[in-house]
Structure formats: C-alpha cells, structure tokens
C-alpha cells in the first residue's frame, strides 16, 4: 500500500513542515518513505511544494506523476497542482485563500476554511495543520497517533508548538468528519 501526497503553497505557509510531519509519521509507523522539498528562489512569499511518498513496501520511484492526495494552501498552488491528483484522489484546499472556479469532478475536494479556523485558535500560522487534519481520514498509512508521535519529535525543542499544532489538526479532522 502507498500514499503519494503533494503539499503546496507560498513560502512561509509551512509547506515543508507539513511534509516533515508526514515523513516523521511514516518513520513512526516504520514505513518506507521519500520526502522531496522544492523551493522557489524567494526567501519568503515565493512558491514552495513538497512531495511525500509513504509505503509499506519498497518505493521504486521518487517521482509523483499522479498523487493520491494533495494539500494546497493558496490559489496558485491549486492552479498548479490540482491536475496532478489521480482520479479518485483527494484534494484539501485552504478555502480561506483559494476558492477554485473550475473544479474537477473525478476527485474528492475538501474545502476547509483553514485560515479562519487557525485564527479562531489564535495563530494563523497553523492553517497548514488544519489542512493536514482535514486530509488524515483519506490517508491509508498514517493516522492521528502517528502524526502525534511525529509532532512530539519535531517540536521537542519548542514544546509550546505541540499543543497548538495538535489542536489545529484536531479541528481539521473534525471539519472533515462533520462535512
């Protein structure tokens, strides 16, 4: 079994951190994995995306032509990556920053108002984690508990981030489960 996930947005939206969380969750679940970051030339505000492949067997290619799922944090990311999701796949869109006019009908699109939810939690920078929570029910190989283990490792030096990020993930998960 394999999960191929693309995450994309502007630099500074936590795209790479999203990828790291998924990668560390894969390590916690003893999976084979691949994490490939891609940065634009700008320091902040430019484009950023990353690909994560999680597998319970060998990964033969690190290239994702057609993803099982994607998280897009803004409209340019939607425009660039929505076409890269395979039919039957899942797309989580931060509806606060992207409201796609043309929608694919062969995939599940979860429009989550991630920035608004993050603002309600008091921290707009955790909108990425709201989107991760919204995607969790669609993943085959990592779940809430493995994400929590990953977050513990990634926030070890800044434990105050653990609670904020996990609260955002829970809110995203609740959003998907109630819609």
Q: How confident is the model at residue 42 (pLDDT cuts 50, 70, 90)?
A: low
Distance (Å, whole) CA 118 – CA 34:
28
- pLDDT score recorded for residue 41: 72
Considering the chain, what percentage of its residues have pLDDT values greater than 90? 85
Mean local confidence (pLDDT), 38-45? 72
In this structure, the dihedral spanned by the alpha carbons of residues 56, 58, 64 and 66, taken in order and rounded to 10 degrees, is -60
Considering the chain, what percentage of its residues have pLDDT values greater than 70? 97
- pLDDT score recorded for residue 44: 64
A 10 A CB-CB count for 58 gives 7
Q: What is the pLDDT of residues 78-101, one digit of tens each?
A: 999 999 999 999 999 999 998 877
- Quote the mean pLDDT of the chain: 93
Domain boundaries, the chain: 2-172
Distance (Å, whole) CA 86 – CA 112:
20
Residue with tokens 């029910």: 137
Contact 70, 138 (CB under 8 A): no
Q: What is the pLDDT of residues 112-167, one digit of tens each?
A: 999 999 999 999 999 999 999 999 999 999 999 999 999 999 999 888 899 999 99
Mean local confidence (pLDDT), 36-63? 87
The topology under which CATH files domain 2-172 is: Pyruvate-ferredoxin Oxidoreductase; domain 3 (3.40.920)
Q: How confident is the model at residue 49 (pLDDT cuts 50, 70, 90)?
A: very high
Q: How confident is the model at residue 58 (pLDDT cuts 50, 70, 90)?
A: very high
């Amino acid at each position: 079994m394999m999960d191929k996930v693309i995450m994309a947005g502007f630099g500074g939206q936590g795209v790479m951190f999203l990828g790291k969380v998924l990668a560390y969750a894969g390590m916690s679940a003893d999976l084979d994995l691949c994490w490939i970051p891609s940065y634009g030339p700008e320091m902040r505000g430019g484009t950023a995306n990353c690909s994560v492949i999680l597998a319970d067997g060998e990964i033969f290619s690190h290239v994702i032509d057609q993803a099982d799922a994607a998280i897009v944090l803004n409209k340019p990311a939607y425009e660039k990556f929505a076409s890269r999701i395979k039919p039957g796949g899942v797309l989580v869109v931060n509806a606060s920053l992207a409201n796609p006019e043309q929608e694919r009908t062969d995939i599940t699109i979860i429009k989550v108002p991630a920035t608004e939810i993050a603002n309600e939690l008091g921290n707009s920078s955790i909108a990425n984690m709201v989107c991760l929570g919204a995607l969790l029910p669609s993943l085959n190989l990592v779940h809430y508990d493995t994400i929590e283990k990953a977050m513990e490792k990634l926030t070890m030096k800044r434990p105050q981030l653990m609670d904020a990020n996990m609260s955002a993930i829970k809110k995203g998960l609740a959003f998907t489960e109630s819609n």
